[in-house]
Each structure stands twice: as C-alpha cells, then as structure tokens.
C-alpha cells in the first residue's frame, strides 16, 4: 500500500485529495481528508480528484 504526505499537515495517508487553493498559489497539491474539508470552506477551492494508494 502506497502513502503520500499531506501538503498541509504532513500526515501520511493512503487517500488524499487533489485540490487547488489560492493560499498554495500555483498548481495542485495533495491533502488529507481533514485538510480537504477545511479547504472546502474557502470560496476559491477547486477539487481535482482523489488519489488512493491501495489501488496501485
């Protein structure tokens, strides 16, 4: 099972969410579920799909 680190809280997770927020500036970042929920509260949040380590 593969894992990635959350770009916000550095927590290792097997499921991350590809998002874009103005705070991060350019490009997409991968965040864990709890950070994704926080990011959703922002108006300019964009969702770009889910990454799941166990499918690889």
**Which residues would be at the binding site for Zn ion (CB under 5 A)?**
6, 8-9, 32, 35
Shortest distance (Å) from residue 19 CB to Zn ion: 11
Q: What is the DSSP string of 3-29?
A: -EE-TTT--EESEEEEEE-GGG-SS-E
Question: Cα(49)–Cα(28) distance, rounded to whole angstroms?
Answer: 10
Judged by beta carbon, residue 19 or residue 35, the one nearer Zn ion is: 35
CB of 5 to Zn ion, least distance (A): 9
Distance of closest approach, residue 12 Cβ to Zn ion, in angstroms: 10
């Amino acid at each position: 099972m593969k894992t990635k680190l959350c770009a916000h809280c550095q927590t290792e997770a097997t499921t991350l969410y590809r998002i874009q927020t103005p705070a991060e500036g350019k490009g997409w970042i991968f965040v864990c579920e709890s950070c994704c929920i926080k990011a959703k509260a922002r108006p300019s949040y964009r969702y770009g799909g889910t990454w799941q380590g166990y499918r690889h």
